[in-house]
Amino acid sequence: MATLKQIMRHYGPEYIKRFGDAMPDQHRKTIEAIVHCRTEHYGASLFRCGECGHRHTVMRSCGNRHCPNCQGDKTRQWLSKRLSEQLPVNHFLITFTVPEAIRGFIRSHQRQCYGAMFDASSQTMKKLARDDRFIGADLAGFFGVLHTWGRTLPYHPHIHYVVPAGAMTKADGKWHPSRADFFLPVRAMSKIFKAKFYDAMKKCGLASSICADVWKQAWVVDCRMVGAGARAIKYLAPYVFRVAISNSRIVKIEDRRVFFKYKKQQSNRWRTMSLEVMAFIHRFLQHVLPSGFMKIRYYGFMSPGSALSMQSVADCIERCAAAVVHAIRTICIEPFVPRCDKCGGTFVYYASILPVHLPFRGSG
């Protein structure tokens, strides 16, 4: 089966040569990271089997957040932490999307616009959560993750938020539940999100560069209830560390065309699409985020700086909202433990080989 690494190894040098100085540095670094992932470029860890003593060499991964090889361990680590902090209420997946007419502008001003999308959407939910008509509490807690792609890799920036069904009040520390099947009105979120994004663009001097028709359109916000407890969190985990395309979706490379699978919205049937290899690499690289940009952000009582621990929030929910508490289903997430291929024993670490950085030449 073809992989993204194979595509980048064989065609990445040609892509770099073709676009040269026009390429953002982060795109070049991403190609090189994927090509060298789990090779001597990043060094290796040496283990011996605790049972039979057989020695094993494990190549280190690149750790690049756009590399499909490196997201599995991060997902397991995140999921384990979230399960230890799960709240006994329903959760919602709320998605904020921008109109197609503004996407080209956002792609040209990524750092400013992505930050504005986070600020505008998070402030929207905080504002409406304080409204007594909905929740009436001033300390909501949620986290969001930025995605920039659609199912066939077009540029489609949007933010997914994972939100517990309720909020806290700072004054008395009480939990205020939302309805089990309703969090906040999507039409109101759409209008406020658009207005706050416009204010952010105006503040940084970019509003005049945006087509006026964009502000006349309805901006889409979607809210869906995904259930309670561990199963809901496990369902949401892929939204956090998903990359633009996984290796499992790449079918083959043939005659300089990449064939990959996708599903249309509200359909479970797999379809196949093909792109010329340079066009495929271009589509993939347009989803590389600016260097240092935080694509996952935590707010309110989920913020790392919150004075409230997740356990204290959970305790408050059980005291103040027992009527809406759902049973928590425990799911055990086993950490990945490499096993000896000779006897099945566990590895014991004993040394590392430092990475050797060689010039990137590829095989093409």
Considering only residues 207 and 332, tell me which one the structure prediction assigns the higher pLDDT. 207
Model confidence at 107, pLDDT cuts 50, 70, 90, reads very high
pLDDT at 236 over 90: no
How many residues can be counted in the chain?
364
**pLDDT at residue 359 in the model:** 59
Question: How many other CB atoms sit within 10 Å of the CB of residue 81?
Answer: 11
Name the percent of the chain lying above pLDDT 70.
92
Q: What is the DSSP code (8-state) at residue 179? A: B
Whole-angstrom distance, CA of residue 142 vs CA of residue 96: 14
Model confidence at 255, pLDDT cuts 50, 70, 90, reads very high
Question: How many other CB atoms sit within 10 Å of the CB of residue 15?
Answer: 23
Mean pLDDT calculated for residue range 75-82 = 77
Mean pLDDT calculated for residue range 52-63 = 91
pLDDT digits (tens, 9 = 90+) for 283-297: 999 999 999 999 999
pLDDT at 62 over 60: yes
Whole-angstrom distance, CA of residue 156 vs CA of residue 149: 5
Whole-angstrom distance, CA of residue 202 vs CA of residue 204: 6
Phi-psi region of 256 (alpha: psi -120 to 50; beta: other; left: phi over 0): left
**Average pLDDT value over all residues in the chain:** 89
pLDDT at 334 over 90: no
Whole-angstrom distance, CA of residue 160 vs CA of residue 162: 7
**pLDDT at residue 52 in the model:** 92
Mean pLDDT calculated for residue range 114-138 = 97
Please compute, for residue 45, the number of CA atoms within 13 A of its CA located in the half-sphere on the CB side: 11
Read off the tokens for 45: 């860890």
Model confidence at 325, pLDDT cuts 50, 70, 90, reads very low
pLDDT at 171 over 60: yes
Which of 18-32, 122-136, 208-222, 317-331 is least confident? 317-331
Mean pLDDT calculated for residue range 123-146 = 95
**pLDDT at residue 361 in the model:** 58
**pLDDT at residue 20 in the model:** 83
The torsion angle over the Cα atoms of residues 97, 99, 104 and 110, rounded to 10 degrees, is -30
Token match 């949620």: residue?
142
Q: Whole-prediction pTM value?
A: 0.87
Model confidence at 331, pLDDT cuts 50, 70, 90, reads very low
